[in-house]
Amino acid sequence: MAENNNLLEKLEGLQARFEEVSTLITDPSVIADQQRYVRLTKEYKDLEDLMNARKEYAMLLANLEESKDILMGGEDDPEMKEMAREEVAHCEARIPEIEETIKLMLVPKDPEDAKNAILEIRGGTGGDEAALFAGDLFRMYTKYCETKGWKLEVSSASEGAAGGFKEIVCSVTGSDVYGTLKYESGVHRVQRVPATETQGRVHTSAATVAVLPEAEAFDVEIHEGLIKWDTFRSSGAGGQNVNKVESGVRLRYPWKNPNTGEEEEILIECTETRDQPKNKERALARLRTFIYDREHQKYADDIANRRKTLVSTGDRSAKIRTYNYPQGRITDHRINYTIYNLSAFMDGNIQDCIDHLIVAENAERLKESEL
């Protein structure tokens, strides 16, 4: 009971902050400050979920106490006693569940989880087969994004000689995209017989996946006057616009790396659409994300060093998963998760694996918060 009261006291202390934020997000001066308004509306949503959980928790504790009083009191009505026994059973089963939910909600969240993401897939060791596997991974994530109702747009792509992609970069927009896809960062290894193999031997190839939080316009400062723009004609199959209109854009931006102190030039190309202004807008978004990622690398490294697992460190050199085609098996090495539904997995049915990774990370976060 003392633990119940402690948890309720913590939640009671947050009630005042919830009411304060509720008032602030209707203040015209706050609404005019876009950065502050976005931050406060996100805090409001998190606190609202917490207050709803608090309400249910308090109600369960009250119902449990009331039902126990009925059973221990002088109530003679058998039907009332049976209802009280059922309520006690329900409350005793539900209370530990919602306590764990509330404890997890009280652990500070990664503020980047709610952001959109940049998804980069590159063929690694294995030549043409690696490019084909990168293409398979791109199809897998495309299918998965469809099931989530997310929008995936290709920013740039370099096709492999035998198909697939040497490299493909996409933007993914939707709800809590980065917080979900971040678990996919790392080296993905495939074991299968390549289409070009005549002896039927199993080869091992790899592709790397990087998932970066997409930077908002106010996350990084870009001096647009320093950007040098070039335009060029798109290439590839297409209609009359191809090779006639300079819709492709290339930007060069001088930048001082805060981690090394060295001057660098960032080069970004975008040929996704036949609309030059749209390509410029997407190139700028990629520039913001590139700088944001580099400037926050130390922060990410600190987080990774504090964690005892590689569940979502974003370590792009770590082998995280193996796709074994002869056995129809997928193994995620971070949590020793193995399933035998490779065909469905490659069709985008990856949520169960991500759920297991989320559970593993949540358990770790709870453990760290209690130390």
Percent of the chain beyond pLDDT 90?
38
Architecture of domain 117-214+310-370: 2-Layer Sandwich (3.30)
Q: How far is CA 181 from each of CA 68, 130, 135, 314, 342, rounded to the nearest angstrom?
A: 46, 21, 17, 10, 19
Q: Tokens 């993914």 appear where?
A: 172
- Tell me 318's DSSP state: S
* pTM greater than 0.85 (yes/no): no
Q: Which residues pair with 323 in a beta bridge?
A: 190, 330
Domain regions of the chain by residue span: 2-106, 117-214+310-370, 224-295
pLDDT tens, position by position, 296-338? 665 555 544 544 344 444 445 678 999 999 999 999 999 999 9
d(CA 206, CA 257): 30
* Tokens standing for residue 236: 């590839």
pLDDT at 240: 47
* Tokens standing for residue 261: 């102190």
Backbone angles phi, psi at 360, to 5 degrees: -65, -40
Q: Bin 149: left if φ > 0, else alpha if -120 < ψ < 50, else beta.
A: left
Architecture of domain 224-295: 2-Layer Sandwich (3.30)
pLDDT at 100: 83
Indicate the helix (H) or strand (E) that contains 16.
helix 2-24
pLDDT at 216: 67
Provide long-range contacts, Cβ within 8 A and 24+ apart, for 106-110. Answer: 106/10, 106/50, 106/369, 107/365, 107/366, 107/369, 109/46, 110/179, 110/303
Instruction: Give just the sign of the alpha carbon dihedral 112, 117, 119, 120.
Output: negative
pLDDT at 4: 66
Residues of the chain with pLDDT under 70: 1-5, 74-75, 196, 198, 216-219, 234-245, 296-317, 368-371
pLDDT at 217: 58
Q: Tokens 């015209």 appear where?
A: 28
